[in-house]
Structure 1
Amino acid sequence: MSFLVKFKQFLSRNIILKKTIHYRKDLKATTLDNPNGLKKESKLGTDLNFKYCLTVPGDLLQKLGIERHHKIDADASCFIASYNNEPVGCILFNLQGKAAIVRSWFPFDCEITFGNRHCYAHDGFVKPEFRGNSILEMLYLKSFEILKSRFDYLDALVYDGNFGANKVALKAGFTKVKNIVFVKLFFLKLILVLDNGIKNKMYVLFTALFKLSLAIWNSIKAI
């Protein structure tokens, strides 16, 4: 392995900046008249079924074809969509109102607590060959019906670059609360909540450092 490849891997592991959007759904104000236009029916028809599970089946992600590393929170429950008795989609929830950040696109593991009577939707999956059938939209509608009797709010963190997930969140009636940025700069690990001037300036600083590191790498690569 060449020096440049090793150096690139070193930078990619130690200089990381990921911006997420914190969304919140007010379940108290949720009605079943579906004002946001979520689809109540799927092209798959009546063969598509939904169920709620207090715990996540151990082989669920494997059956959905999720190949990336994904560690399921021990407190997670889920809503599962099945077609012909086979799972084709799911949404994972933390009923304790905590976001256990362990997904591969975050720079480091951490935990964020949203508060009492908050539920956290920490991921949604649809089997690749079943995408485009409004499965995730219908899963959200089913979850609202059940969760609103126990919780006041449903929170979610969505990666800024995941345009599809952001679109579904807004369509499901989630509102943007704030931006949360995860920064790893060698041994320094920070979570920046961009709701005040100081941290916004810090975000600008780390963004500049991140761009500088990319410029250095591109210069070295061009040698």
Structure 2
Amino acid sequence: MIRVLLADDQALIRAGFRMLLDAADEIEVVGEAADGAEAVRLAVRTRADVVLMDIRMPGTDGLEATRRIAADDDLAGVRVLILTTYEADEYVYEALRAGASGFLVKDTDPADLVQAVRVVAAGEALLSPRITRRLIADIAARPQPRAGAYRIDALTDREREVLTLVARGRSNDDLARELHVSPLTAKTHLSRIMTKLDAHDRAQLVIAAYETGLVAPGSP
């Protein structure tokens, strides 16, 4: 079972998500939180696989809660999927940098939300196309790459190639085909890159690639 924790300050929204997810196969809602601080406490208590996290909550918001969960080694297996009403939320970029594994707007189709939970629980990153466009636009507007923020120089040439492909949206199967390696080898490359860059998942790898200038927004 995929264990899900709901974090939203609106009880009606939590109830809707609970009905939707409890009706899905192999998904179980194990708790509800009305603010970020409670979400962190319940994440520790329930060891949920996925936290559906609203950003704008009273007290401790979803951004800070995401940061605390990602920074806790005991919660390394907990993934945060951000849900927001606003696709242009100014916290999109910071939430991903804080450790969120996915970002969706609340008008997402119910079936897509269920699938998003499964994808994030499996360790993959998930961004809606609108969110991805905003993320890249935000990075493009920055004056210069933040090369010092990531140890890109620690990567081999092959690992840089893999990171470039990941930043351009390639899946593990795509990597294997384009690099002429087995899927297991592709996955091994990804694991090594994540370790060297101290990244939690593909979302942070994409950020690292753009922030350091390895991939330029708009490049083919």
Report the TM-score range of the alignment, normalised by the length of the smaller protein: under 0.3
Structure whose CA Rg is larger: 1
TM-score (ref. length: structure 2): 0.27
User: Which has the larger helix fraction?
Assistant: 2
More relative contact order, 1 or 2 (CA 8 Å, 6+ apart):
1
Q: Structure 1 or 2: larger strand share?
A: 1
TM-score by length of 1: 0.26
